[in-house]
Amino acid sequence: MSGVETRHTCCSGSSPTRDGNSYIPCSRSFPHTCSLNSSSDWRPSLEMPLGQHLPSQQGSQFEDGHNDDLTALDEKALLQQCYTSKPYNMQHSMRKSEAEDVAAERKKQAVVEQVMLDQLSRAVISDPEQATRGDVYKEVQGHLGLETAPMRFRKRTLHETKIRTKSGLTEHMLSNKLRFDSRIISRNGRDACRDLIGFFFACDRSLTVYEFRQFGKNRTNALPFIQKGVYQHQRGKKKGKAYDLSDFYIGANLTFQSVDHSLPKSVKQNPILTLRVISIDEVAMDFLKDSSLQFNQESSEQLTDDSRVFRKIQGMLRKTLSKRGVRVVTGLGKYFRHIDKNGIGFLSQADFKEALKLFHLEVPEEDFASLWLILDDNKSGKVNYGEFIHAIAGEMNEYRKAFVRKAYMKLDFNKTGSVPMVDIRKCYCAKKHPLVLAGKATEEEIKSSFLETLGESCSNPGEVSYSEFEDYYEGLSIGIADDDDFVNILRNPWGI
């Protein structure tokens, strides 16, 4: 098919605690629903008009039909679960994964070298003693040799300096560091896909975060995103306390005052910048734990009550979301974006209560009040609706989310935060779908079912934003128990 052919040219574990807004993912122990013998059930639904997919009550375009029966839209979304089988070309997939691992390690080493160079050079070159009045006087009188001419006339390097800096930083001290990867918690695709690598230094409990950028195949750079310094939590039960080693684990949130940093305008729209830790250097962590007297496990104990609230609410909604997750999660996202007239991503308590009622998600008032106290920890009266959706429905773990980001970045190679639907059609490949391989469906039928369910969640039918793409797979993830099965749902159609 032309769409499949064009694709080859256009596209080449759960976090244990919550800090700020890191949620306990809901249980993924739901059965797979796709069967090779189910073609007679789903094929007629492919021909159903789009307007019949979401039953409407009281004339609302966002009304969610209150019944346990699957709509045609649900059935089409569940077809994506058939991809849970392994990619048909495992050898190619393994080679590709190995190449990606090598590239990732090279990237991290390049950032490490840049960080060490920046910190050690800055400590010496910025030292006030580099240009003492005595030296200036001697230069003016000509008492200094040509080799010690004013700095503006000669090139000075780190190794040529003779000044003993008062800075306590040394290469040995800076080597005792924890490297971690992170991402921005944002509904803006360009910001959510930024490649951030951070470092926590045990010597002074400071941290810094660098952004790695790739230009073509050979040109790269790494620049500070968060300057090196000692920072405090801006949200949660540890608000005001300085970060320590126990604050770094997969799924942890690091919060900063946006105004204190030179950040992109899109990031500064939110007064609090939240970075999610998505991986850490386990070897370095074990070494620092053994050598640190300050490491403790208090953070996980402090957050037990919050976790219990999330698990209770997610348990109440599990049955509703097990098979209708895509329709509910994407529907909520679309509804919230519709009523968020200012586009700031924050809504009031009344807005969320109305949404739960509209989508027939029953949460007792007492549990809702407990949930609100956790989410609105700064008492502003408003909560980010992305955080709210994750709190009630659970959130993909970082392993799964990494593949969602990888698939979207492959589509959005210009990093605009939005992908035209026509490009989605060109790049989506249905040839590996089990129903296609078994001759029970055509590639076009499977592709059309995917595009229809994805398009239903989009505010603009002609393009897909990062948040809409993520919401789709967030809802699909609820019904997939195994991480590798979920990853194959992304590997097979997107070739990642």
Whether 218 has a pLDDT exceeding 50, the answer reads yes
Q: Does 226 or 72 have the greater pLDDT score?
A: 226
**Who's near 154: CB < 8 A, 6+ residues apart?**
147
**Whole-number pLDDT of residue 432:** 85
pLDDT winner (highest mean) among 61-65, 156-160, 380-384? 380-384
Q: Does 61 or 25 have the greater pLDDT score?
A: 61
Question: Sign of dihedral through CA atoms 393, 399, 401, 403?
Answer: negative
**Whole-number pLDDT of residue 94:** 66
Question: What is the average pLDDT across 174-179?
Answer: 86
Whether 387 has a pLDDT exceeding 50, the answer reads yes
Question: What is the average pLDDT across 127-143?
Answer: 46
**Whole-number pLDDT of residue 21:** 41
**Whole-number pLDDT of residue 169:** 56
Question: What is the average pLDDT across 154-181?
Answer: 62
Neighbours of 440 (CB within 10 A): 17
- Ranges 23-27, 255-259, 306-310: which has the least confidence: 23-27
**Whole-number pLDDT of residue 9:** 43
Cα 284 to its chain centre, rounded Å, is 23
**Whole-number pLDDT of residue 2:** 42
**Whole-number pLDDT of residue 171:** 64
Q: What is the pLDDT of residues 388-442, one digit of tens each?
A: 998 998 888 999 999 999 999 899 887 888 899 999 999 999 988 988 988 999 9
Question: What is the average pLDDT across 116-143?
Answer: 53
pLDDT band at 230 (very low <50, low <70, confident <90, very high): very high
Q: What is the pLDDT of residues 455-464, one digit of tens each?
A: 988 888 889 9
- Ranges 223-227, 318-322, 333-337: which has the least confidence: 318-322
The whole-chain average pLDDT of the chain stands at: 76
The percentage of the chain sitting over the pLDDT mark of 70, rounded to a whole number, equals 69
**Whole-number pLDDT of residue 233:** 94
**Whole-number pLDDT of residue 269:** 84
Whether 64 has a pLDDT exceeding 60, the answer reads no
Q: What is the pLDDT of residues 4-38, one digit of tens each?
A: 444 444 454 444 333 434 444 443 333 444 544 43
pLDDT winner (highest mean) among 288-292, 352-356, 392-396? 352-356
- Ranges 80-84, 124-128, 414-418: which has the least confidence: 124-128
Whether 182 has a pLDDT exceeding 70, the answer reads yes
**Whole-number pLDDT of residue 495:** 87
Residue count (the chain): 496
